[in-house]
Chains A and B, each alone.
Chain A
Amino acid sequence: MKNDTKNIPWHSRFDLPSITFILFLLLALGSLPALEGSGRDLDYLGNFLRFLDQFFPPDWSILGQTMEGLWETIQIAAISTLLASFISLFLSLAAARTISPAWLVIITRMILNMIRTIPSLLWAILAVVLVGSNSLAGVIALSFYSVGYLAKFFSEAFESADLKAQKALQSLGANRWQAFQYGLWPNLKPVIWSHCLWMLEYNVRSASIIGYVGAGGIGLHLKLYAESADSWNKFSLVLICMLVIVTLLDLTGEKVRKSIRAKLEGNKVL
């Protein structure tokens, strides 16, 4: 017994998670110089308290125009999510291993990876260059950005879908489209809707910031207040409004997704 324990090689106790954890710790320790900041002797706490003081009380006089900006943000998010969902449905068919040939899957997935690599703010800069500084730029930017994610999620949904009902309908005489519409799509629809809702929430958050580079929405208000002196109380009102809207959307989305999951798992939840 004793000999057996001795024969176990020392490195066998290191599995992939423990190796990556050690590497992460080494990287974090090696990154300590990032904490140095400017190197000047600044009163960090005092600065923070002064800054916080300028935030409150929020300036409620700009509530009307803030709500207008937020409404534009929601519009940008909604239309870009809708556009991206349509485009993603077709792209996801090309990216699903169970549906398309390997060469098409590889090419489509490479394109989707490239789209995801570029952050939404960069897409917004590109769109502003293309169509100018307006909400259309925001729609274009977020549509591209969302396609990268939604097409990936949808293709995974297609790949993991149960094909038995579809095949059963084909064996009962339905053609391929009918078998897809009534055998496969009902199982996919709730999952796909759940992904769209998540993307909508995400896009409302993204649409709030892309205005910073001129792509419409509330981001432009944030930029103006951040750059003008003594406007931090206006800035804080915009942040509060954004927080309320995003939280409400998150809670609603989560409730709907939870209900969808429960129903698919066979629980009677409305």
Chain B
Amino acid sequence: MKPQESCLLEVRDLHLRIEDRWLARDLSFSLSKGEFIGIIGSSGSGKTTLLRAINGETKAESGSIKIGAESKLPVGMIHQDLELAEGSTALNNALSGSLLRHAWTDTLFGFPKEEKEKAIELLETLGLSRKVNQWTSTLSRGERQRLAIARTLLAEPLILLADEPVASLDSDWAIKTLDLLNDFAKQKQAGVICSLHDPKQVEEFADKVIRIDSTNPEQWKVEELS
């Protein structure tokens, strides 16, 4: 079947396992432009493994992950352990998301002005305006999580994978951040797949939900949410 034009990602008959433990069997779903998919499941159910498989970091046992109908699309992932450069300033960490748009010679001595302005604006939106020149290692866990989100958003991926991006945020910032991810999907016509723990957040923000349960790998469900 030829994927539709609006389809960014198609996962078919995916089998995932970690060592001897099956996480999912025959998992199939698709992600369209502007769509926000929530993944929900208990700890260790395979949410991270699924996202890592889509990002190409883990190999699936079998099945296919097709990114883009014709050409490969840019994928960006917000990792659970953030993976920030601790000795770098918050601004440079955020800006490093934009590296793919520049030749190495253009960023050898810093970033272009327009990228800096864009990054500062986004950091302001994420409540980090006073922290831009601070070393990342000195930020709190919540601030670092928002910084990792800023870095990935500045990469402007067409498929954004977010592994529990609001786990360390208080409820206000969690809602603001999920709003931001949702807006990003709608405005840039990108697709977002986001693992979450709170079913209320999934209901509020997701267009579709994937429920996975590693105790019953065949019983995954993909539901459209109104």
Contact = CB atoms under 8 A, between A and B. Distances in A.
B85 interface: yes
A168 B79 contact: yes
Residue of B76, B83, B135 with most chain A CB atoms under a 10 A cut-off = B83
Contacts of B56: 171
A171 B138 contact: no
Given A172-B99, A172-B152, A263-B135, A177 B104 contact: yes
A172 B107 contact: no
Interface in B104-153: 104, 107-108, 134-135, 137-138, 151-152
Contact of B99 (A162, A173, A263, A266): A173
A178 B110 CA distance: 11
Contacts of B86: 162, 165, 186-187, 264
Contacts of A174: 96, 99-100
A178 B138 contact: no
A175 B104 contact: yes
A149 B9 CA distance: 52
B151 A172 contact: yes
B32 interface: no
Nearest to B151: A172
Contacts of A164: 79, 81, 83
Interface string A246-270: 0000000000000000011111100
B152 A165 contact: no
Residue of B84, B85, B97 with most chain A CB atoms under a 10 A cut-off = B85
Nearest to B55: A171
Given A173-B155, A175-B104, A266-B137, A183 B96 contact: yes
A164 B104 CA distance: 20
A167 B100 contact: no
B172 interface: no
A264 B137 contact: yes
Nearest to A165: B85
Interface in A139-186: 162, 164-165, 167-169, 171-175, 177-179, 181-184, 186
Contacts of B75: 171
Contact of B85 (A182, A263, A267): A182
A268 B76 CA distance: 31
B87 A189 contact: yes
B126 to A, nearest CB: 17
Contacts of B57: 171
Residue of B96, B100, B134, B151 with most chain A CB atoms under a 10 A cut-off = B96
A227 B178 CA distance: 79
B104 A186 contact: no
B88 interface: yes
A187 B85 contact: yes
Contacts of A187: 85-88
A186 to B, nearest CB: 3
Residue of A169, A179, A186, A188 with most chain B CB atoms under a 10 A cut-off = A186
B74 interface: yes
B162 to A, nearest CB: 13
Contacts of B155: 172-173
A168 B87 contact: no
B83 A173 contact: no
B92 interface: yes
Interface string B64-86: 00000000001111010101111
Interface string A65-90: 00000000000000000000000000
B147 to A, nearest CB: 12
B79 A182 contact: no
A121 B88 CA distance: 39
Nearest to B84: A165
Given A169-B99, A171-B57, A186-B85, A181 B107 contact: yes
Given A171-B55, A183-B96, A267-B138, 6 more contacts: A169-B99, A171-B75, A181-B104, A187-B85, A187-B86, A187-B87
- 5 nearest interchain CB pairs? A173-B100, A186-B88, A174-B99, A168-B83, A182-B96
25 contacts: A164-B81, A167-B83, A168-B79, A168-B83, A169-B96, A171-B55, A171-B56, A172-B96, A172-B151, A173-B100, A174-B99, A174-B100, A177-B104, A178-B102, A178-B104, A178-B107, A181-B108, A182-B85, A186-B86, A186-B88, A186-B92, A187-B87, A263-B138, A264-B137, A266-B138
Interface of A: 162, 164-165, 167-169, 171-175, 177-179, 181-184, 186-190, 263-268
